[in-house]
């Protein structure tokens, strides 16, 4: 029986992720845990997250899980969800004061730096006014958006291109390497909403809130053999 650990560190919608995984993979052993030993022993790991980046990084550190997540990212299948995707990058413009913009590194929050790139805040005109109903983008971006699959990947199996997924976020990842991007959505302009490399797949949207296609993505993660 495959064991899937959901990393519990105080900043995530863990129970929604747990319910979705149990539904998608009833034969798997789903463990919701903050234990480094249990996470390290699992066959695959899900890293969820929500809330302010500085709080997420601080609670991950306080829970003693930073090094565990780095180890997992190097050794076994890892699925990042929402802020769990953003945490994989070098820095986030979201700082301790939650200012609207961070103009230099001193105002930004260091992340796990598994991938090169930054996490940026939506800021600019609504190039498609019908998406926001205003001249500037509403933040947070909230609701269903079509996801364009920019590269093939086993986690997209059985999910048609441009399928809708549910988003709630004010920030998005901007990878240095464009080949990391495997999915995009549009809010004002296109933005990266799914990244992948080797044993890691991560998404900005919430599969657990995305009906059948979200459950299919979780199922694909369970079956994935990177």
Which active-site residues does the annotation give?
A: 82, 206, 208
The residues near 141 (Cβ < 8 Å, ≥ 6 apart) are 122, 167, 168, 169, 170, 187
Structure tokens at 202: 């991560």
CA angle 182, 195, 110 (to 5 degrees): 155
Angstrom distance (rounded) from CA 153 to CA 58: 32
Helix (H, G, I), strand (E, B) or coil at 81: strand
Which of 14, 156, 12 minimizes the C-alpha distance to 87?
Answer: 12
Radius of gyration of the chain (CA): 17
Tokens 């995984």 belong to which residue? 21
Phi, psi (5° rounding) for residue 211? 55, -145
Strands 117-121 and 78-81: unpaired
> CA quadruple 55, 10, 64, 60: dihedral positive or negative?
negative
Phi/psi of residue 62, nearest 5 degrees: -60, -35
């Amino acid at each position: 029986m495959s064991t899937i650990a959901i990393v519990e560190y105080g900043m995530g919608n863990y129970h929604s992720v747990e319910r979705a995984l149990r539904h998608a993979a009833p034969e798997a052993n789903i463990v919701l845990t903050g234990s480094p030993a249990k996470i390290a022993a699992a066959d695959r790991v899900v890293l969820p997250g929500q809330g302010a980046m500085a709080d997420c990084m601080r609670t991950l550190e306080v829970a003693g899980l930073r090094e565990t997540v780095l180890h997992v990212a190097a050794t076994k299948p890892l699925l990042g969800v929402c802020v769990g995707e953003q945490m994989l990058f070098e820095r986030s413009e979201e700082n301790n004061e939650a200012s609207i913009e961070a103009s230099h590194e001193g105002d930004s929050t260091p992340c796990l730096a598994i991938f090169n790139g930054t996490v940026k805040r939506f800021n600019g005109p609504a190039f498609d006014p019908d998406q926001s109903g205003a001249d500037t983008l509403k933040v947070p971006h909230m609701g269903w958006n079509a996801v364009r699959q920019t590269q093939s990947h086993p986690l997209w199996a059985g999910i048609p291109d441009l399928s809708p997924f549910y988003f709630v976020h004010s920030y998005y990842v901007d990878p240095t390497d464009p080949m990391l991007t495997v999915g995009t959505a549009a809010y004002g302009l296109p933005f990266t909403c799914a990244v992948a490399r080797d044993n890691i797949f991560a998404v900005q949207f919430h599969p657990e809130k995305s009906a059948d296609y979200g459950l299919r993505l979780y199922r694909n993660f369970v079956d994935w053999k990177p």
